[in-house]
Structure 1
């Protein structure tokens, strides 16, 4: 199995996590999200052959550096079509559920997880889930008091994320990592807590 490096850069007033996912052998990689400081992200990617910028969802704090970052790196932008209109640039690649993104010898699977936004996606490679604002330590992302969106995000987590192995590291869009095994026991509590 290919060896993977995942670097986390914390940026901006909302403590956004930007990730650089790298195949250790080939040094090929992708950037996940584009928050706050394009030049810092580009510097952190020095030595990595970045092939694309993957967007977990279209909230401004995740894409406010996207235009500059895409220009600095000279690579395509990939996002789900349901969030594409919220981005400052038109995506070059449409992400679809189940799609595989090749990164050197690595393969990242796109998991469409609507709820926080209609086009929210996560990216999975064995051992790692980049969860955007879908799943955090202690619960799902914000659904802004909307029952339909809450039901969507719970279904996304239950049906698509909690089927992953317990030891999968969950790397969220803000704050600290967790694991699938740490979070799965609390699902019913989150449902009871409600939207």
Structure 2
């Protein structure tokens, strides 16, 4: 599925946060070790944040959590699916406005309901802000809502009010699949997205 996996490593302590342990635990382990090169101390994965419970974003979650002892976090409304499909009871249930911390840096949890009920994005503050959006926002549109107009309206509204209305055009977007983009590149197309309904 060509999923993206993202790793945030604190330079001073080596503490790490992994976003979406999608598949291939061996490759993820290699990524974690590579993160040590950016740290003054031995890197340690503290948290795995799952942006949503779809199978292609969760296949390595149990194994990576077992290997590293990292806690697992997921949007509250997706936790039951993760437990049912992967046998993982997440230690942290995320709600809109929560914070996930890595060595003192707080990433904001932004609920983007519609692709799944518990989909979340993470905002890493800085210049520019970095947004990890899972399958809720891509270059060219919002995520799949199964041709359900109610789900589309929810996701489009959340993406508009919680992302585009709050963050500047230089904000970088890192989706769950494909290439990064910026809010400035996508903003002009918002009316077209609404009109087409996907």
Q: So what's the TM-score if we normalise by structure 2?
A: 0.89
Residue equivalent to 1:7: none
- Check whether the contact 1:26–1:105 (CA below 8 A) recurs between aligned residues: no
Higher helix fraction: Structure 1 or Structure 2?
A: 2
Question: Which of residues 144, 147, 153 is equivalent to 1:145?
Answer: 147
- Secondary structure, counterpart of 1:71 in structure 2: helix
- Secondary structure, counterpart of 2:113 in structure 1: coil
- Secondary structure, counterpart of 1:25 in structure 2: coil
How far apart, in 2, do the equivalents of 1:50 and 1:168 lie? 26
Residue equivalent to 2:121: 122
Tell me how large the CA RMSD over aligned residues is.
Answer: 1.0
- Secondary structure, counterpart of 2:115 in structure 1: coil
Question: Which of residues 167, 175, 181 is equivalent to 2:184?
Answer: 181
1:97 pairs with 2:99? no
How far apart, in 1, do the equivalents of 2:71 and 2:123 lie? 20
- Check whether the contact 1:77–1:92 (CA below 8 A) recurs between aligned residues: yes
Question: Which of residues 10, 20, 42 is equivalent to 1:33?
Answer: 20
Q: CA deviation at 1:101?
A: 1.3
Stretches (4+) displaced over 3 A:
none
Provide structure 2 residue ranges, at least 5 long, that are not aligned to the other structure.
37-42
Q: So what's the TM-score if we normalise by structure 1?
A: 0.90
- Check whether the contact 1:42–1:73 (CA below 8 A) recurs between aligned residues: no
Higher strand fraction: Structure 1 or Structure 2?
A: 1
Q: What is the CA deviation profile of residues 9-65 of structure 1, one whole-angstrom value per residue up to 9, with x for unaligned ones?
A: xxxxx1100100122233222000111111210221112221110010000000011
Q: CA deviation at 1:192?
A: 0.6
Number of residue equivalences: 182
Question: Which of residues 167, 173, 197 is equivalent to 1:194?
Answer: 197
